Amino acid sequence: MQFDVLTLFPEMFDILDESIIGRAKEKGLINVNLINIRDFSKNKHKKVDDTPYGGGAGMVIQPDVVYDAYKFAIQNTEKSEKTRVIYMSPQGKKLDQQKVEELSKQKKLILLCGHYEGIDQRVLDTIVDEEISIGDYVLTGGEIPAMVLIDSVSRYVDGVLSKDSISEESFAQGILEYPQYTRPEIFDGVKVPEVLLSGHHENINKWRRCEALKNTYLKRPELLENVELSDEDRKFIENIERRR
Ligand code: 4G0
């Protein structure tokens, strides 16, 4: 999968060379193509912004430099290829796991990173398919949101995670994770839950399902409104209330 990023700060994306995403890049499973909007300035001082029409504080990124950067990004893409232009903005639709999975089906994403200064509305109206926010807070730029999107979407690209990781992950099924334990068997006087040492896989799976449901019910109860629960699941959840 290819991510083309239109940004004034390409160096910020160096952290994508670390860890699992760095590995995925090395293996060629994902490709992050950084396009510096400033390279498309026709100004001798490489200026990309100007004062806002109508007055007011700050500066506005000019439409032509952004458009030329966009044209450069799509120059080798066929019209038929699955490409979407996404503007990272606090005014966008909130990113969630379902959206992440949907985006992972695209062949290519073009991510436009804006700034507090804002981008001329005309080029946004011309090139942007979709505005996405990573949450209800304002940052200094769209770069960190773009990296959040790249990281979350890349996890769905074949070969990036070890086999089964995604499908086993309970968040993919709409609920929170069960707790994990490893050696030592006793830490700070606290023993690992007995069932996990039993080797009884049916009991272990049941226990994990219950712990995941309990976690979800106690921390994020609203998530349970959108998941399919078995009769057994429901009974267990009713019991949590009774035991409280
Ligand atoms: C566009 C995204 C970009 C508009 C970007 C700010 C938070 C997010 C930016 C603005 C961002 C997010 C209207 C302030 C750059 N901050 N939540 N900052 N405005 O995804």
- In a mutational test of the pocket of ligand 1, which residue from 93, 130, 138, 140 has the highest number of ligand atoms less than 8 Å from its CB? 138
Tell me the pairing of strands 130-133 and 31-36. unpaired
Please tell me the predicted confidence (pLDDT) of residue 171. Answer: 80
Please tell me the distance between residue 4's alpha carbon and the centre of ligand 1 in angstroms: 18
Indicate the helix (H) or strand (E) that contains 112. strand 108-113
In 3-state terms, what secondary structure has residue 157? coil
Instruction: Provide the token pair at 161.
Output: 């995670």
Atom number of ligand 1 nearest to Cα 133: 20
Model pTM score: 0.96
- In a mutational test of the pocket of ligand 1, which residue from 8, 60, 88, 94 has the highest number of ligand atoms less than 8 Å from its CB? 88
Closest residue by CA, ligand 1 atom 14:
116
- In a mutational test of the pocket of ligand 1, which residue from 7, 59, 116 has the highest number of ligand atoms less than 8 Å from its CB? 116
Please tell me the distance between residue 114's alpha carbon and the centre of ligand 1 in angstroms: 7
Please tell me the distance between residue 64's alpha carbon and the centre of ligand 1 in angstroms: 21
In 3-state terms, what secondary structure has residue 50? strand
Q: Please state, in angstroms and as integers, the Cα–Cα distance from residue 230 to each residue in 148, 177, 210, 213, following that order.
A: 33, 18, 12, 11
Strands (DSSP E) found in 185-226:
186-187, 190-191
Torsion of CA 53, 91, 8, 48, to 10 degrees: -10
- In a mutational test of the pocket of ligand 1, which residue from 60, 89, 150 has the highest number of ligand atoms less than 8 Å from its CB? 89
- List % helix, strand, coil for the chain (3-state, nearest 5): 45, 20, 35
- Please say whether the beta carbons of 62 and 42 come within 8 A: no
- Please say whether the beta carbons of 117 and 61 come within 8 A: yes
Atom number of ligand 1 nearest to Cα 88: 2
Between CA 17 and CA 54, with CA 65 as vertex, the angle to 5 degrees is 120
Please tell me the predicted confidence (pLDDT) of residue 168. Answer: 82
Please tell me the distance between residue 141's alpha carbon and the centre of ligand 1 in angstroms: 6
Residue found under tokens 């992972």: 104
- Please say whether the beta carbons of 115 and 58 come within 8 A: no
Low-confidence ranges of the chain (pLDDT < 50): none
Please tell me the distance between residue 120's alpha carbon and the centre of ligand 1 in angstroms: 14
Closest CA to 108 of 73, 133, 143: 73
Please tell me the predicted confidence (pLDDT) of residue 73. Answer: 97
- State the DSSP code for 67: H
Q: Please state, in angstroms and as integers, the Cα–Cα distance from residue 20 to each residue in 16, 23, 151, 159, 162, following that order.
A: 9, 5, 9, 11, 10
Residue found under tokens 């912004």: 49
Please tell me the predicted confidence (pLDDT) of residue 238. Answer: 96
Please tell me the distance between residue 119's alpha carbon and the centre of ligand 1 in angstroms: 11
